[in-house]
Structure 1
């Protein structure tokens, strides 16, 4: 069931990103947005996907308690007293309202109704954040950190995905980049700061939650599935920033000077990285945060990926340390070379697929930089 929840969580991120991106573009003046075309039925289905896929964690909890309490008692308990159930009920109400608003109205041509739809999307993001790890550990601070992180990700990433795959032309691309570029920079700063706040709450000792404890637990948590996913997600941000800078700054410069470039091709490459990060985040969201690594390893065992790469026996309570080795330095240099080749490929406007391949290869190389530096 865990793997089903992970898949549905990834699909939930995609659906929420698409709906967020569409609504955000709908509330902007048409002269400043790409000409996007998306069927009302498709948008309704994406909203329905938010409703359906967000139920998977609730169903997982129901299955756990049904064996002891019976279905009806477990259902009432989970839906009315558990945060995950209460958050889903709120999500269901908002999603149904949004589905009705989309189905019965042409939001693409009515900015007022689109604004109402955008507000409903904001509430959906808030509902998702309320049911997250951070909010359960620190109800106020954890909720706001996670909410702001998600909001920035969905509006920046969702807009990029929608503009990349649903734009019919690049006719209004320069006016779009004029406001989207500073927005993307602001969103990135917000998601970085809020993401760090969320991370320190998720992985640090709940009774501490300090930056120092967070850094210690980040290192120790690499032996867990959560820690491995967090490391991969953090590394993937680097190629994402490279592509985002290219699409915002270089493409804007090329268009402003009348040079030939296909912005859709390169934005789609950026969107691919965003979707991969969505998938990694979905996996991470269904893993236990590494608060108490000794008990976590004792009960669930270490991460299979960590076990495959770590040379020493893994025992509860072991202390991980970082120490540069010849191999780790070589992987670091290789990653720098590969990301430099990625930038050159982008600037030369060569192959999109090659740029993506090089960027993922750089990310893999940096992952091995970290893993070959760990010792116990």
Structure 2
């Protein structure tokens, strides 16, 4: 069941991104973007998936308490008294209103697009309401989680919609001009809200690497390295070629940036289901299996902290990381190198940096 809950959260985040990306692009003048066509039926399906995906955590809790109370009574109690249940009630209501709106409006309606942005944001708020952060600090948790999801959904959503629903690459430079600032703004929102969330959820960022939640948080942050480099390729490099009238197909490159950002959604959905380390009493049973694999001979307890040392392994992985990053940057400037190669190099870079950090850590 845990795997299904994890997948449901990833689906949830991608649905938010697709909805916000579509509605934002619809209100952008056509001369400032490529021709994008997303059918209303697609949006109806995406919206209908949201309450279904959001129901999985509700079902998980219901099944946990059902042996004592019976499934019907357990479901009724969860939906009326548990925060995750009442938040899902709000999600279902908003989604039903949303579906009716989509079925009664057309893709050309600017008013419907603005309303769609508002309703999608409300759906994000309903999900943030049931988050771990909200449980630890209601107001700050909901606000920071909402800002984090909205910022990520706008950035990823525009990229996903452009990548997979654009019919051409017309007005590409005009699109890059406004989207670059949008992405920077989203990154600022994600960064600020991310620090707010870590202040609520994590007592010590580096020490949190010892448990699953901290491992997921670390991997999420490491994935930002190739994302920034792909963003560089999709702005500076594509401008370099297009301004000189050299043949360049930007869609494959922006598509892989969207895939990398979607990977962050998947990683986030995975570690967000783990108990945050805020106030947690560390024991051997709570230690992440991955972290334990790098430190098999160390017994970890509540008093342990992470330190760093330089050794032969760390030096080797440092050079491997630098080589992978340089190779990734160089690959952007060679048009004969397909984007998939750059994508694979970016994953190798992330793995090398991750290994570098793990072999450098020591338990004290």
Shorter-chain TM band: over 0.9
1:319-358 to structure 2, matched below 5 A, reads 319-349=305-335, 350-358=337-345
2:239 corresponds to:
252
Task: Say yes or no: does 1:289 pair with 2:289.
Answer: no
Correspondent of 1:223 among 205, 210, 230: 210
CA distance in 2, matches of 1:258, 1:97: 47
TM-score, structure 2 normalization: 0.95
The answer to whether the Cα contact below 8 Å between 1:88 and 1:127 also exists between their aligned partners in 2 is: yes
CA distance in 2, matches of 1:347, 1:129: 41
The answer to whether the Cα contact below 8 Å between 2:136 and 2:200 also exists between their aligned partners in 1 is: yes
1:183-194 to structure 2, matched below 5 A, reads 183-194=182-193
Q: How many aligned positions are there?
A: 361
Task: Say yes or no: does 1:268 pair with 2:255.
Answer: yes
CA distance in 2, matches of 1:332, 1:128: 39
1:117 corresponds to:
116
CA distance in 1, matches of 2:52, 2:92: 9
The answer to whether the Cα contact below 8 Å between 1:23 and 1:118 also exists between their aligned partners in 2 is: yes
1:229-244 to structure 2, matched below 5 A, reads 229-244=216-231
Shift in Å, 1:50: 1.1
Structure 1 residues 200 and 312, CA gap change in structure 2 (3 angstroms) = farther
2:129 corresponds to:
130
2:358 corresponds to:
371
What is the SS of the residue equivalent to 1:159? helix
Shift in Å, 1:250: 2.4
2:36 corresponds to:
36
The answer to whether the Cα contact below 8 Å between 1:48 and 1:95 also exists between their aligned partners in 2 is: yes
2:296 corresponds to:
311
The answer to whether the Cα contact below 8 Å between 2:200 and 2:278 also exists between their aligned partners in 1 is: no
CA distance in 2, matches of 1:352, 1:82: 46
Shift in Å, 1:293: 4.5
The answer to whether the Cα contact below 8 Å between 1:328 and 1:369 also exists between their aligned partners in 2 is: yes
Q: Which moved more, 1:223-232 or 1:257-266?
A: 257-266
CA distance in 2, matches of 1:269, 1:325: 34
2:21 corresponds to:
21
What is the SS of the residue equivalent to 1:316? coil
The answer to whether the Cα contact below 8 Å between 1:221 and 1:293 also exists between their aligned partners in 2 is: no
CA distance in 2, matches of 1:324, 1:56: 44
Shift in Å, 1:16: 1.8
Shift in Å, 1:254: 2.9
Q: Which runs of 4+ in 1 moved over 4 A?
A: none
CA distance in 2, matches of 1:46, 1:69: 34
The answer to whether the Cα contact below 8 Å between 2:128 and 2:146 also exists between their aligned partners in 1 is: yes
Which consecutive unaligned segments of at least 5 residues does structure 1 have? 205-216
Shift in Å, 1:328: 1.3
CA distance in 2, matches of 1:293, 1:51: 31
Report Cα offsets for 1:215-268 as digits up to 9, x if no partner.
Answer: xx2222212111111111110011101111221232234323423211101101
Shift in Å, 1:292: 4.1
Q: Which moved more, 1:20-29 or 1:324-333?
A: 324-333
1:89 corresponds to:
89
The answer to whether the Cα contact below 8 Å between 1:302 and 1:314 also exists between their aligned partners in 2 is: no
RMSD of aligned residue pairs (Cα, Å) = 1.6
The answer to whether the Cα contact below 8 Å between 2:62 and 2:78 also exists between their aligned partners in 1 is: yes
CA distance in 2, matches of 1:200, 1:227: 13
The answer to whether the Cα contact below 8 Å between 2:34 and 2:175 also exists between their aligned partners in 1 is: yes
